[in-house]
Amino acid sequence: MKITSACEEFLSHCRVGKNLSEHTLRAYNIDLNEFSAFCTQTTAIADCDRHILRNYLTYLFDKKNLKETSIKRRMACLKAMFHWLESEELLANNPFHKFKAPIKLPKRLPRSLAAHELRSLLTAPLAELGIKTPGEVESITGNLSRKQFNHITCLLTVELLFYTGMRIGELTQILLSDIDLQDSIIKITGKGNRERRVFINDSELTRLIEVYIHLRPRYNPKDKHLFITTHGNPASPQFLRKLIARSAEQASMERHITPHMLRHSTATHLLEAGVDIRHVQKLLGHNSISTTEIYTQVSDNSLKEVICKGHPRRKMLED
């Protein structure tokens, strides 16, 4: 079996057998195409050995200059494919067997937004709409332009991302049938198709969702996704990222803002407010609490800064 055929069969298994999300399938496809190109398409999968894996690692580090996180993802994808090929008896010898090439990841704390940055990001779409609060959106929906609809889309995107801590890919997958505003619940489909529920216990945000649901049929009354574009298509993660980035620019924010920074901000600010870490873990959909614990380091850094500035010892010495 050629390597290209092996990659195609594995992707088919991921799509049908594992029912992975389109976002994950796209990432797998990119990773496997890169490995196929490195090995050349005529290479037999049985000829892939540890020597090729080591050379590929060197190629990713030295030639592609990829970050450690990107390299680790590519190798994890390959490992999953070879493990599947072995389990399906399409491969006699798995090159990853006893293969050791640990990739040390740099310690990076999640990039979250400070309170003043969150205010700027939340108020930027309101300023573009000429209103002061999300509750006023309903008052301008009469002769709404496409540009104004995009501002409302951006506003709801930022509000939901920060309020719920969901991922941008999870946001774009929300269907109208996933929303139960009577019980203030939105059903989320996360990584590995794991389902969880988030609660919208805010009357202003709830009303904003209701107004958006009322407006969206102007562009596509048949589509079942919550978020759509003015062309009537389901909003993609890339589309919403652009709306957020453009809104951040209009707010004159100094750094590039991404949707995932809002997820980090949700966790960080909840923990700093004293919310139990297990509740934050459930809200974010983390499979392991160790993933959530990284945000406690951010909270510790904030605590250190507050203590350094406000500890009474400093005042005692100054007096």
d(CA 172, CA 242): 14
DSSP secondary structure code for residue 137 in this structure? G
In this structure, the number of other CB atoms found within 10 A of the CB of residue 24 comes to: 16
Residue 12 has pLDDT above 70, yes or no: yes
Instruction: Tell me, yes or no, if 83 is annotated catalytic.
Output: no
* Model pLDDT for residues 310-319, shown as the tens digit of each residue: 556 555 556 5
Residue 300 has pLDDT above 80, yes or no: no
Of these residues, 2, 79, 191, 196, which one is catalytic?
A: 191
- Ranges 106-115, 117-126, 185-194: which has the least confidence: 106-115
* Model pLDDT for residues 132-153, shown as the tens digit of each residue: 999 889 888 888 899 999 999 9
The alpha-carbon radius of gyration of the chain (Å, integer) is 23
Contacts 24+ apart (CB under 8 A), 192-197: 192/287, 193/19, 193/20, 193/21, 194/285, 194/287, 196/282, 196/285
- Identity at 20, one-letter amino acid code: L
Residue 186 has pLDDT above 90, yes or no: yes
User: Which domains, ranges and CATH numbers included, belong to the chain?
Assistant: 3-87 (1.10.150), 115-262 (1.10.443.10)
Amino acid 43: pLDDT: 84
Amino acid 212: pLDDT: 96
Tokens of 44: 């037999």
* Complete DSSP assignment for 6-37: HHHHHHHIIIIIS---HHHHHHHHHHHHHHHH
Cα four-point dihedral sign 261, 262, 264, 265: positive
Of these residues, 151, 263, 264, 269, which one is catalytic?
A: 263
State phi, psi for 180 to the nearest 5 degrees. Answer: -125, 90
Instruction: Tell me, yes or no, if 295 is annotated catalytic.
Output: yes
Instruction: Tell me, yes or no, if 212 is annotated catalytic.
Output: no
Of these residues, 50, 83, 260, 282, which one is catalytic?
A: 260
pTM for the whole thing? 0.71
Strand partners, 189: 195
Amino acid 304: pLDDT: 59
Strand partners, 2: 44
Of these residues, 28, 56, 163, 167, which one is catalytic?
A: 167
